[in-house]
Structure 1
């Protein structure tokens, strides 16, 4: 299995276009050892020829141009991107669908909750019907159904499993304040030839026994790295919300709950990688103490263009 990190930043990317915090300003001015990042999206392939997008970032056009693996190969119009799987309906994960409108009909895999949000509160799919159109493949994660195995045509050697996880619906969603099963999913992707597994969850509000078991069953973890600490945005003066209120588990824990670093230490995955890094997170500074702590624990920080082969 081949995994290509197209974008490793959280919403707004890094540096965020309107942010003058220490990290964003330092990166722009060349005073910080930190790479720029586009907004989070990943591509997965079994053979390096055909690819599935996991989320469609607003930066998708730039990301495709930056990665030759996704360039057209045959005829005047072509794309090796064969399908898109959505983890949620957050704007930074779905608005890139509009950037695919010049291509063929989009085979879209999403839960009923996400489909509803994208045809009502943020009707991107309605708009796309006037361009390339979409084919919705329902991931039946809803109600009491918290897990669904599915296949994607053309990817016979990969088995996909959608897993309901704790998180937040987007602010525009009618169920922002009350979580509904299917608002947020993680993916477990297994290569049926060598049984290697990827667990992908760029947004993860909590890791309970079930989530931990899924993570322990994976060879590679590509998980929520949004915030370093619970009150990060407040301390930076960027927002009054905590990591929990925004639907993310920070890397550093507290007396109330373990952080993502603790969780990752409890797993045996060969690769442990943080993705969806917010512009406020000090791990963006490669010379920082938090970054050294991650290095000491064998935890990697995703970057745009990162390639992983399982």
Structure 2
């Protein structure tokens, strides 16, 4: 199994274009930039799937040799996209994939409804490519020997979808290589560590967790803007770390960092990080 972090930042990236917080200023000075949250996964190293498709997807694909096209003229190793939310920073990149000969997208009913009506990305995309829109069920099997399990972890709607019904808005995904048994959990939007989620990550080789904010009050402390991490649907790092101790055989790392979050270290991913590489 191959897992490559294409983008490690929350919406807006880091540095964010209109932000002069200390983290953004340091990113501009050092050139240590983060693009927006997207992960590429493959069971066999040939068939690849994207977990979300952020606005930076074109640059991310061009910077990832494993996703280069060929040998056919329009042949690509990209088999599809699995959406874990309907947020703009996880879906706008689909429009950049409109040149595909065909494109498969997997989404829950709530996410699909939002992208059909509130923000009609789905019909727009269907005007440009052969679009195969599939339900992201609790269990599916993908090309390359990937077994996928899904768990609803949040019911927070995007702002633009306030009137759309449903409760399966935010998903965690567990992907397992059917040949080797290696497994990876993607949960970069996690509002709470529930008993169900604790069972979901048990036995996984590696978990990519929500690292949006370090503390619940980070945004207000840093920018003066109102809003806590929890109110925005994100479990802060300081509150999730104690839970990881119950799973000593699993490696936990953090992604989807907000531009205000200065977190660094071995458990924080960067753009281009490869997970499960040493397992």
> Following the alignment from structure 1 to structure 2, what is the Cα–Cα distance between the partners of residues 204 and 41?
15
> Following the alignment from structure 1 to structure 2, what is the Cα–Cα distance between the partners of residues 71 and 149?
29
**Cross-structure match for 2:231:** 245
> Following the alignment from structure 1 to structure 2, what is the Cα–Cα distance between the partners of residues 47 and 204?
28
- The answer as to whether partners of 2:49 and 2:82 remain within 8 angstroms in 1 is yes
> Following the alignment from structure 1 to structure 2, what is the Cα–Cα distance between the partners of residues 104 and 244?
40
After the TM superposition, which parts of structure 1 deviate over 3 Å for at least 4 consecutive aligned residues?
Answer: none
- Normalising by the residue count of structure 1, what TM-score does the alignment of the two structures yield? 0.85
**Cross-structure match for 2:258:** 278
**Cross-structure match for 1:49:** 46
- Normalising by the residue count of structure 2, what TM-score does the alignment of the two structures yield? 0.94
> Following the alignment from structure 1 to structure 2, what is the Cα–Cα distance between the partners of residues 74 and 211?
41
The secondary structure found in structure 1 opposite 2:230 is coil
For structure 1, the residue ranges without an aligned partner over 5 or more in a row are 141-147, 253-258
**Cross-structure match for 1:224:** 210
> Following the alignment from structure 1 to structure 2, what is the Cα–Cα distance between the partners of residues 104 and 44?
21
Rate the CA distance shift 1:127–1:186 in 2: closer, same or farther, 3 A. same
**Cross-structure match for 1:143:** none
The answer to whether the aligner puts 1:89 opposite 2:83 as a matched pair is no
The secondary structure found in structure 1 opposite 2:147 is strand
For structure 2, the residue ranges without an aligned partner over 5 or more in a row are none
**Superposed CA offset, 1:176-227 (max 9, x none):** 8x9x431111101111222221111110000111111111231111111100
User: How many correspondences in the alignment?
Assistant: 277
> Following the alignment from structure 1 to structure 2, what is the Cα–Cα distance between the partners of residues 263 and 17?
34
Q: Which of 142, 147, 162 is matched with 1:159 structurally?
A: 147
> Following the alignment from structure 2 to structure 1, what is the Cα–Cα distance between the partners of residues 247 and 156?
25
Matching of residues 1-16 of structure 1 within 5 Å: 1-16=1-16
What displacement does 1:238 show? 5.0
**Superposed CA offset, 1:264-307 (max 9, x none):** 22222432110101111121xx4xxxx5xxx5xxxx11111111
> Could you say what the CA RMSD is over the residues aligned between the two structures, in angstroms?
1.6
Matching of residues 124-135 of structure 1 within 5 Å: 124-135=121-132
Matching of residues 176-255 of structure 1 within 5 Å: 180-237=166-223, 239-252=225-238
- The answer as to whether partners of 1:226 and 1:250 remain within 8 angstroms in 2 is yes
The secondary structure found in structure 2 opposite 1:58 is coil
- The answer as to whether partners of 1:78 and 1:103 remain within 8 angstroms in 2 is no
The answer to whether the aligner puts 1:304 opposite 2:271 as a matched pair is yes
**Cross-structure match for 2:157:** 169
**Superposed CA offset, 1:227-281 (max 9, x none):** 00001101112520100110000011xxxxxx11112222224321101011111
- The answer as to whether partners of 1:230 and 1:244 remain within 8 angstroms in 2 is yes
> Following the alignment from structure 2 to structure 1, what is the Cα–Cα distance between the partners of residues 83 and 218?
27
